A and B are shown apart, each in its own frame.
Chain A
Amino acid sequence: MIDTLRLTAEGAKRLLDAKEISGPELFAAYLEAIGERDPELHCFLHVCDDPGGDGIPIAVKDVIGTKGIPTTAGSKILEGYVPVYDSTVVSRLKAHGLRILGKTNTDEFAMGSSTENSAYGPSHNPWDPSRVPGGSGGGSAAAVSAGLAPWALGSDTGGSIKQPSALCGNVGLRPTYGTVSRYGIVAFASSLDQVGPVARTVRDCAFLYSVIAGRDPCDSTTVELPQPVQLPEGESLAGLRIGVPKELNEAEGIEPGVREAVERAIELCRELGAEVGECRLPLSVEYGMPCYYLIAPAEASSNLARYDGVRYGYRTPDPADRLDMYKRTRDEGFGDEPKRRILVGTYALSAGYYDAFYGQAQKVRTVIKREHDAAFGDFDALVSATSPTVAFPLGARTADPIAMYLSDLLTIPSCMAGLPGLSIPCGLSEGLPVGLQLVGPQFGENVLFRIGHALEQALGFDMVPERLR
């Protein structure tokens, strides 16, 4: 009997190596869990047959291109699209023998914080199905927490890995920009998009990162890791300096229960031997959200120009002429959120507004980067909550785009600076998981893994949702 609710990828590998279970048995156990719980949670848009082999199964967010397996990015405009090549990250998974379980639900084109923007209906939080799993990578995060996959790949532009991991109570890494290839990924905002791992433990997360990271000749924005990934082992934080950015920790809208859980985790860092001190990121937090919601839509408006009904994806029936085909294909194929972002982005890039909006936002980005550089002069990592709130009820923020955008208030600043961020569960508030965000300097993943692992051991958080125990 394989208990997928408790099995880690590392544990699965041990069982496979000891021949206590076979590859087909392991894959079948996850398919059975999906059959049992996914009708309620709707984590998967597509479930795969076992491709064979003894590798560990993995779920993949549906913005990640998979040869021969439908890839919709949660959009009607890509309904029925089947890539003819693998993304580099999927090639790397396969080269390690990992087997793809299926494609997970996402907000349309990864634009959102709840999966409610998916054209195929929302996913549900395994801790409380009346609540969202976060987004955009809510399908991957909910699948890992509900034991439907031992680990998964997500993608993160302004918080789409870290925030769902926080809301579902598991471990998610947004890697340093440039360390993971974007080749074959459905593009949203190219100077921000990063693929990263979602897992049940920090060690699994670190291992999966080592599988996907490194330079790819097909993506000229990638670099080799300056040092190899170290799987964390120790439980001491002696010798580390951890900064507590005042503005991230005192931001408006942080729920009291979230604040308490984060404060306990910070105290624990001190008990484990870290030196803890306050630091400042005043402009990053105040101007991060507006900066992000100019730069990301501007890049999205350009990236989404490719959906024109010519080469792949949806085409409107019986167009009068080519312009009519473009316009009606895009109106009928895109949902509200991509349309909002295309319109904002096109406006911000248009003649007469470029300097005031896009150009100014790029300068704010420099300011954000400089503030983080200064903080990392004094500290090895920065700590705060990942999300200001625990998982919110479905429908609570759908009518108000700005309220939804504020879900990413705490994750956005470090994304703008291209820095790595790890979210680990640090406790419960009102019976729902609270995520702790650890941000490192560029290429600082190993220090995040070390801190995350030590805290994970000391906290002993039970990742299995209470209602499924």
Chain B
Amino acid sequence: MAIDREQLLHVAHLARLELREDEIERLGAQLNDILAAVSKVSELDLADVPPTSHPLDLVNVWAEDEPHVSLTADEALANAPQRDGDMFRVPPAGS
């Protein structure tokens, strides 16, 4: 199983990564090596085994709905690349 250039660009788009030409070649080859190595998990027949998503058996962890002091707008915006009043400024959506 190998992923081709078109599939790589599709996955990169899903992940919002603009790969440069040299990266397509280098990362594409490495990605195929990695996928070949991890595909080993399919050797096992685990039809009857339940999945583990989390190592602790915690169910329904609730918290009281109590108001508390949160970040101010200035704090929340302190690291903004671009700020406009009390908002994050971003470029317009494309066509």
Contacts and interface: CB of A to CB of B under 8 A. Distances in A.
Interface of A: 80-82, 84-85, 177-178, 191, 217, 220-221, 223, 283, 287, 289-291, 293-294, 301, 305, 308-315, 319-328, 330-331, 334, 336, 339-340, 342-344, 346-348, 350, 356-357, 359-367, 369, 401-402, 405, 416-419, 442
Interface string B37-69: 111111010100111111110100101000000
B46 A314 contact: no
A178 B17 CA distance: 32
B6 interface: no
A359 B11 contact: no
- Secondary structure call for the B interface: loop
A312 B80 contact: yes
7 contacts: A82-B79, A294-B41, A315-B82, A325-B90, A328-B18, A363-B49, A367-B49
Given A84-B71, A312-B80, A363 B56 contact: no
A363 to B, nearest CB: 4
Nearest to B37: A402
- Secondary structure call for the A interface: helix
Nearest to B61: A220
A365 B14 CA distance: 26
B86 interface: no
Contact of A309 (B23, B76, B81, B95): B81
B40 A290 contact: yes
Q: B34, B51, B54: which has the most chain A beta carbons within 10 Å?
A: B34
A130 to B, nearest CB: 26
Given A289-B37, A363-B49, A416-B55, 13 more contacts: A85-B75, A220-B63, A223-B56, A312-B79, A312-B80, A321-B95, A322-B90, A330-B15, A331-B19, A340-B31, A343-B17, A346-B15, A364-B41
A-B residue pairs, 10 tightest by C-beta: A418-B55, A321-B94, A362-B51, A312-B79, A327-B18, A315-B81, A363-B46, A365-B52, A220-B61, A290-B38
A400 B61 CA distance: 42
Given A293-B38, A340-B27, A81 B53 contact: no
Contacts of A319: 91
The range of chain B's interface size is: 35 or more
B85 interface: no
Nearest to B56: A178
B15 A343 contact: yes
Contact of B17 (A85, A324, A327, A416): A327
A293 B55 contact: no
Given A84-B75, A290-B38, A336-B27, A331 B93 contact: no
Contacts of A339: 17, 19, 23, 27
A239 to B, nearest CB: 28
Contacts of B82: 315
Given A221-B58, A364-B44, A343 B27 contact: yes
Contacts of A340: 27, 30-31, 34
Contacts of B13: 327
Given A315-B81, A321-B91, A308 B34 contact: no
B3 A327 contact: no
A266 to B, nearest CB: 27
B17 A342 contact: yes
A321 B20 CA distance: 18
B34 to A, nearest CB: 6
Contacts of A323: 16, 93-94
B54 to A, nearest CB: 5
A348 B13 CA distance: 15
Contacts of B76: 84
Nearest to B60: A220
A366 B52 contact: yes
